[in-house]
Amino acid sequence: MQWDSVLPACLLKAEPLSSKGRTVSGSACGFQLLFFIPVKISDRYKRAYAELFADAGPGYHVTDIYVSERRMYGVVGTRYCADLKATAYPQLKFV
């Protein structure tokens, strides 16, 4: 019988999180051609979110997500970019 499944969580010792967090980021852009034709505009947050989790890697939890957006104006349209920054922590391992 495994005693880990019987013991309450308060009796198990977990690794501390404070020193193991690292900063991860993701970014994705789209373009509005002539202010009427959107190119990769609608899913830029979804792509940035996927890049953020890919940067974190497997076995990590992502917290404290900071979202920002930037625009760059050009002659034939506007470029919109979504930037995400977060803190990635390893999954808890009970010892």
Average pLDDT over every residue of 83-89? 95
The Cα 71–Cα 78 span in angstroms is 7
pTM: 0.72
Q: How many other C-beta atoms lie within 10 A of the C-beta of residue 88? A: 20
> With 70 as the cut, is the pLDDT of residue 68 above it?
yes
> With 70 as the cut, is the pLDDT of residue 55 above it?
yes
What pLDDT shows up at residue 1? 47
> Which amino acid, 30?
G
Structural contact between residues 21 and 50, judged by C-beta atoms closer than 8 angstroms: no
H/E element, 67: strand 60-73
What pLDDT shows up at residue 93? 72
> C-alpha distances in angstroms, 78 versus 38, 44, 60, 69, 75?
10, 14, 35, 13, 8
> With 90 as the cut, is the pLDDT of residue 95 above it?
no
